[in-house]
A = this chain, B = another copy of it.
Amino acid sequence: MLNFDFYAPARILFGKGTQSQIGSLLKPHAKKVLLHYGGGSIKKSGLYDEVTASLLESEIPFVELGGVAPNPRLSLVREGIALCRKENVDLILAVGGGSAIDSSKAIAMGVFQEGDVWDVYEQSTAIEKALPVAVILTIPAAGSESSGDTVLTNEEKKLKYGYGSPRLRPLLSIMNPELFFTLPKNQIANGIADMMSHVFERYFTNTTHTDLTDNLCEAVLKTIMKNAPLVIADPKNYDAWSEIGFSGTVAHNGLVGMGREQDWACHGMEHELSAIYDVAHGAGLAVLTPAWMSYVYKDNLSMFVQFAVNVMGVSGSYRDPEAIVLEGIARLREFFNKLGLPAALKDLGIDEENLELMAKKSTGAAFDDESPIGSLKRLYWQDVLEIYKLVR
């Protein structure tokens, strides 16, 4: 086990009706709130009315900024920063999924940046300050409700970068599984692939003596894999949604990756797809993850045997470990397939035109500044291109 620093202070309020507490929960922390959200779905569902009624009841003034798109954009963030400064906002309330939360985090730190907030993403400089962010979660997937991470797309430069700081951990997040009932099935499936990837990126490691976090990773993965088909079959299944929602948080609050070298190559490779083709992050991960596994498993065969046996339930003769691994990967592909997730880049509308460009961007080779991605196996742009080609 490696040395680690674990800090996950986001308070999670879970359960039926919890969104109606938002006003009283924020009252001690906020004089003026920015309500930040996506499209019209929260208005249609009545959530918008509930939230604003709760803020009014607690006499918390607010301004609002809707229009967050999947793969949230720098332009809207800049607008939010200007609005917060003008209106003296001191807390941002994200109502939505990862996109609304990540956009809120960008605004929260941007308010205190003298230069452009994009510089923080581009230069990965440590921030000193950020407004507090609170969350009412409507899409379990990104884990952003408890993490200190944000991912933003610069639509002019066609770049999608991530940034993390403990100062960006939400103050509190409300998770009521009932709010997930109206999600379309493809979005449910994308979210499931995303949260599974958050565990995979931490699970696959060359670090040894990691019993606890191995077991915790497997616990989260098995929970997701048991309940995912249930929410796809019946999006009003509260009990199954409870497991999926809570798992999405535990997958990404940091705990299950402590003391291990983490990988994150799949996220790196996927961000290039989203940056150019604006594909759903989870759908991109569902395509790339099994391909990545096929490409790297020989570098740590026993790690992949453990995955196949403990997570995918493969049994048989351990005298042929490679067969065990390949069966495990095949089962993961089949699992994604049954959820309705895509299996190839062409299913995402991605042809071969930009494969080399995306591979070179993923490692920085496109900017003459290459550093390999991943840690279980270090991947150069040629490796990434091979992985893209495996699932073109």
Instruction: Tell me the A residues contacting B by CB distance below 8 Å.
Output: 1-9, 11-16, 18, 208-209, 211-212, 215-216, 218-220, 222-223, 226-227, 239, 242-243, 246-247, 250, 255, 258-259
Given A14-B4, A216-B216, the answer on whether A226 and B239 have CB atoms closer than 8 Å is no
Task: Tell me which residues across on chain B come within 8 A of A227, comparing CB atoms.
Answer: 211
Assess the A242–B259 pair: CB atoms within 8 A: yes
Assess the B258–A1 pair: CB atoms within 8 A: no
A7–B250 Cα distance when bound, in Å, is 13
A220–B216 Cα distance when bound, in Å, is 8
* Nearest B residue (CB) for A215: B219
Assess the A212–B11 pair: CB atoms within 8 A: no
B4, B208, B239, B255: which contacts A15 (Cβ < 8 A)?
Answer: B4
Task: Tell me which residues across on chain B come within 8 A of A219, comparing CB atoms.
Answer: 212, 215-216, 218-219
Q: Smallest distance from the beta carbon of A41 to chain B beta carbons, Å?
A: 24
Task: Tell me which residues across on chain B come within 8 A of A259, comparing CB atoms.
Answer: 14-15, 242, 246
Task: Tell me which residues across on chain B come within 8 A of A220, comparing CB atoms.
Answer: 212, 215-216
B8, B18, B223: which contacts A215 (Cβ < 8 A)?
Answer: B223
State the number of copies, please: 2
Q: Smallest distance from the beta carbon of A77 to chain B beta carbons, Å?
A: 27
Assess the A11–B3 pair: CB atoms within 8 A: no
Task: Tell me which residues across on chain B come within 8 A of A258, comparing CB atoms.
Answer: 14, 246
B4, B11, B216, B243: which contacts A6 (Cβ < 8 A)?
Answer: B11
A213–B155 Cα distance when bound, in Å, is 40
Q: Smallest distance from the beta carbon of A265 to chain B beta carbons, Å?
A: 25
Q: Smallest distance from the beta carbon of A215 to chain B beta carbons, Å?
A: 4
Assess the A239–B11 pair: CB atoms within 8 A: no
Assess the B13–A5 pair: CB atoms within 8 A: yes
Q: Smallest distance from the beta carbon of A148 to chain B beta carbons, Å?
A: 13
Assess the B1–A18 pair: CB atoms within 8 A: no
Q: Smallest distance from the beta carbon of A152 to chain B beta carbons, Å?
A: 26
Task: Tell me which residues across on chain B come within 8 A of A13, comparing CB atoms.
Answer: 4-5
A4–B259 Cα distance when bound, in Å, is 28
Task: Tell me which residues across on chain B come within 8 A of A11, comparing CB atoms.
Answer: 5-7
Given A4-B14, A218-B219, A258-B14, the answer on whether A226 and B211 have CB atoms closer than 8 Å is yes
Task: Tell me which residues across on chain B come within 8 A of A255, comparing CB atoms.
Answer: 250, 255
A218, A227, A246: which has the most chain B beta carbons within 10 Å? Answer: A246
A-B contact pairs, 27 of them (CB 8 A): A1-B14, A1-B239, A1-B243, A3-B14, A3-B15, A3-B16, A4-B12, A4-B13, A4-B15, A6-B11, A7-B12, A9-B9, A14-B259, A211-B223, A211-B227, A211-B243, A212-B243, A212-B246, A212-B250, A215-B219, A215-B220, A215-B222, A215-B223, A216-B216, A216-B219, A218-B219, A250-B255
A102–B194 Cα distance when bound, in Å, is 40
A292–B4 Cα distance when bound, in Å, is 37
A12, A208, A216, A259: which has the most chain B beta carbons within 10 Å? Answer: A216
